Amino acid sequence: MDKTLMQSAKDNLKNTYAVYSHFKVSAAIRLKDGTIINGVNVENAAYGLSNCAERSALFAAYSRGYKKEDIVEMALTTEQNKIITPCGACRQVMSELVPADTPIVMGDKDGNTKTVKNLELLPFAFTKKDL
């Protein structure tokens, strides 16, 4: 992993809106053309209306015209002193919008990371084949 992707996610932590949980998360996606798109968690008093950083970044990329095949790497980080993983909802969205073999780099505030392929996050994802 090129450290600039994780640094972009870390720098973007300041943009989170985590006024209820105080659990700040930032994600960054690197695209084939070198563009990095960031996302943060945005909370709402009606918790179900909140959005996670991973989905915020993905939806921003798709909104800008990028597609699944444009995504080459994704990183996420937090201010916590332990490595975090995407929630179940994000894993489901990622299973459809991010290529299966894409490296997903998860980090903590101290720079420790763990990298897995997207497919490893949700091996039995619900897909269009299940419809």
* Per-residue pLDDT, 88: 96
Q: What is the pLDDT of residues 20-35, one digit of tens each?
A: 999 999 999 999 999 9
Show the domains of the chain with their CATH numbers: 3-130 (3.40.140.10)
Sheet bearing 113-117, strands edge to edge: 36-40, 25-31, 71-78, 103-107, 113-117
Residues acting as catalytic residues: 54
Q: What percent of the chain has pLDDT over 70?
A: 99
Distance CA(42)–CA(47), nearest Å, equals 10
* Per-residue pLDDT, 5: 96
pLDDT of 1 over the 70 cut: no
Q: What is the pTM of this model?
A: 0.94
* Per-residue pLDDT, 75: 98
Secondary structure in 3-state letters for the chain: CCHHHHHHHHHHHHHCECCCCCCCEEEEEEECCCCEEEEECECCCCHHHCECHHHHHHHHHHHCCCCHHHEEEEEEEECCCCCCCCCHHHHHHHHHHCCCCCEEEEECCCCCEEEEEHHHHCCCCCCHHHC
Q: What is the pLDDT of residues 51-91, one digit of tens each?
A: 999 999 999 999 999 999 999 999 999 999 999 999 999 99
* Per-residue pLDDT, 27: 98
At residue 2 the predicted structure's pLDDT band, cuts being 50, 70 and 90, is: confident
